[in-house]
Chain A
Amino acid sequence: MALNSYSDEEILAKVREITGDILATESNEISANSSLIDDLGMESIDFLDLAIRLEETFNVFVPRRPPLQRIAAVFGREKLVQEGKLTQLGVRLLRLALPEVDQGRISEDTLEEDIPSLMTPQTYVNVVKRGLELARWQPEECEKCGSKNFTPADKDKLEFPDGNVPPGPIFLCNSCNNMIIAPSPDDELIKQLSKGLQ
């Protein structure tokens, strides 16, 4: 198997295996569309375990925040949720962010507190796939000098002012030594949503 190359089935099999391990449940009781909370009883702390185990397995970054929080960080929570229910914009964005979910389950009647229940193993398959895409990211050109020659940087040898290491790959421009950082998963999500809204 090539590095970073997994089929959807292989990813799903791993997600089911890891979920089963976390929940002490046989993986054959876990289907792609089982609700991790409603069907399998996953608790919030278990989602962290799932994220970490998937990161270790696939060597990708898995966002910790649930989709609505990630979207709200950009669009503003008040535009997505009002009186505990999704707004029209909230519905549209969440449907775009969770394409694997039965879209009829995301409506203006959906309560904010019920949104985590929409998450399924397939949600995490998609998260891993996006993570793998991110891991393969390469810059087109240096935004500073326009050069197209780069060298992948060793993150451990770089220093970041706030101590937060970017999750995606980093390249150094061979001409001007500019550091080129891959877009974050949140940037990518917003790009995907903005495109979907057009």
Chain B
Amino acid sequence: MSPELIPYGVPVSEVVETMLKQAQIVQYGSGMHITSQNNGESCSGDNWIIPLTPRMILQNQNSALEMTTKACQLAQEQGAEIIGLALMLGKIGRRGQDIRQRVNTSITNGDSYLVFNSLQVLTKLLNFFEWDPKRERVAVYGFPSTIGTLLIEGLLSLGIDVTLIAKQTRHAQRLINEISVKYHASLEVAASIRAAQSKCKIVFTAGAGDQVVNADELAKPAIIIDVSFPRNAPINDKEVLVVDAGMVSMPRRSLNISGFYPNKALPCLTELIILALEERREDYSLGRNLTSRKVEEIGTLAQKYGFEVDTLYSFGKPIDMEYLSHFKDVFEW
């Protein structure tokens, strides 16, 4: 029997979704209290769970917007001054703007921090592999998505050469020209991931949720840093290292955290905590209004509060160093 099926041939996902349809918005945990050991700033907040899967959100966006608005209003009634929209909830409704129009509280979806963290993950990997960033060319799949474009700007500002895996559309060409002028860079464009891999050991996947990369599209071994949600690279293959770009360890050395909190957080929560500690009640990452300036700023603030990439994750689990070394050996051989 396929693991996807339960008796009577009903997919598990459908059973889960049927159950979720009956579920209510839940305020989860006992609240999180955070104090910075560096400067004494503190904040507190709650987690709200909206019982929807990404598929349910995409199938009925109106309902998802209504439920999210209701959760935001409940949070607002309890005194929330800024709200983070996680995962798909930050993508729908013009990337959070529709929710913002319905509530009187600042909102952020964490996209600026996601880009910053993606660059940090790359730096961590390059350090581990002892590969010189100035001599590495990195490929970005998914251009010209909003996140992909910012990522390219971030890479170029770090002095890393970039190959875009993109169709040569008029929109893409316009953006390539703008970026090339801004960074005095010559961007290479490849038609496929495999073509890009001839020069790039590491590939960022930053496409839309429906741009899924299959294992057979890759030259192996391959290293993917997956920036997208839903994932672009849901690949289970020993010769393909998929590193999560959006997983952040909570910095317990620099922050005193009590109440319910996760050991690792997603970019939306991280960005939210940073903004709350800074008392920045503002719509930070919302809509398409993302800028490289904000990416740099949130990165600087993150470091101030001790957020750093100390662990690399793959599909939410810490990556074994031995496994990582295997890739170093394979590439160097």
Contact = CB atoms under 8 A, between A and B. Distances in A.
B208 interface: yes
A77 B289 CA distance: 38
A22 interface: yes
Contact of A41 (B58, B59, B171): B171
Contacts of B209: 44-45
Contacts of B210: 44
Interface residues of A, number: 20
28 contacts: A21-B94, A22-B94, A35-B170, A37-B169, A37-B171, A38-B167, A38-B169, A38-B171, A39-B171, A40-B171, A41-B172, A43-B145, A43-B208, A44-B208, A44-B210, A44-B211, A45-B92, A45-B209, A48-B58, A49-B61, A49-B92, A52-B61, A64-B58, A64-B59, A114-B167, A117-B167, A117-B169, A163-B21
Interface in A93-146: 114, 117
A23 interface: yes
Contacts of A197: none
A24 B208 contact: no
Nearest to A37: B169
Given A24-B288, A24-B289, A43-B145, A49 B93 contact: yes
A35 B168 CA distance: 13
B70 interface: no
Contacts of A52: 61-62, 93
Interface string A30-62: 000001011111011100110010000000000
Contact of A48 (B61, B144, B146, B287): B61
B328 interface: no
A39 B169 contact: yes
Contacts of A43: 145-146, 208
| Interface size, B (range) | 20 to 34
A129 B192 CA distance: 38
Interface centre among A21, A35, A45, A163 (most CB of B within 10 A): A45
Given A23-B288, A35-B170, A45-B209, 20 more contacts: A21-B94, A24-B288, A24-B289, A35-B169, A37-B169, A37-B171, A38-B167, A38-B169, A38-B170, A38-B172, A39-B171, A41-B144, A43-B145, A43-B146, A43-B208, A44-B209, A48-B58, A48-B92, A49-B61, A49-B93
Interface string B150-187: 00000000000000000101111001000000000000
A37 B63 CA distance: 26
Interface of A: 21-24, 35, 37-41, 43-45, 48-49, 52, 64, 114, 117, 163
Contacts of B211: 44
A45 to B, nearest CB: 5
B91 interface: yes
A30 B175 CA distance: 17
A9 B281 CA distance: 42
A45 B288 CA distance: 12
Interface in B75-108: 91-95, 98
Contacts of A49: 61, 92-94, 98
Contacts of B95: 45
Contact of B287 (A24, A37, A41): A24
Nearest to B94: A49
Nearest to B58: A48
A32 B208 CA distance: 24
B173 to A, nearest CB: 10
Contacts of B289: 24
